[in-house]
Amino acid sequence: MATKTTTAKSASAATRTPKQENALKELFVDELKDIYWAEQHLVKALPKMIKGATSDELKQTITDHLEQTKNHVTRLESAFESIGEKAKSVKSEAMAGLLKEAEELLEETDKGTEVRDVAIISASQKVEHYEIASYGTMRTLAGVLGFTEAQKILDETLAEEKEADSLLTQVAESYVNEAAAAE
């Protein structure tokens, strides 16, 4: 079965024209620039979420992810380097919108409440889902383009983003949602 997949990839790559190959690489690099901006700005936004959280468990979950996010920035720089490109960011309109929504949720909820924690989890999971989609797409494109080192880097980060989303769900389901309902 794996042979067919490898053969299909090879045949697909063999039938792409240089123009198509360049267009695909350009799209890949544009996606890297987008997520690079997103991760850099997330490093700035997460401390606000930590400060706004009520639950110690939520604060710790976001704090741990902040450290991972700093590593994601560094990994992206390595991914750029692995394909011979300079690390450059271009504003991610999607992430900018998600971060703006997160700020609004903090402003609209009362400090020290579990409802605020629910809002923070909601905003955080929206960010995680955006990152999961982005890293999944980029990992696949890296493979198609033969950027095996970049593919490994992106796959590692994708796994961490999925884990962060799962941890946020656990915090929500373990007590935050029920505590918010009781407020």
- H/E segment holding residue 163: helix 148-171
CA distance 128 to 121: 10
On the question of pLDDT at 104 being above 90, the answer is yes
Instruction: Give pLDDT, residue 2.
Output: 38
Choose among 79, 50, 90: nearest CA to 66: 50
pLDDT in tens, 170-181: 999 998 988 888
Alpha-carbon torsion angle 10, 12, 13, 18, nearest 10: 160
Taking residues 72-101, report their average pLDDT: 97
CATH class of the 18-182 domain in this structure: mainly alpha
What is the band of 16 on the pLDDT scale with cuts at 50, 70, 90? Answer: low
Taking residues 47-60, report their average pLDDT: 95
On the question of pLDDT at 117 being above 90, the answer is yes
- Asked if 36 and 87 count as a contact pair (C-beta separation under 8 A), the reply is yes
Instruction: Give pLDDT, residue 75.
Output: 98
pLDDT in tens, 19-51: 666 899 999 999 999 999 999 999 999 999 999
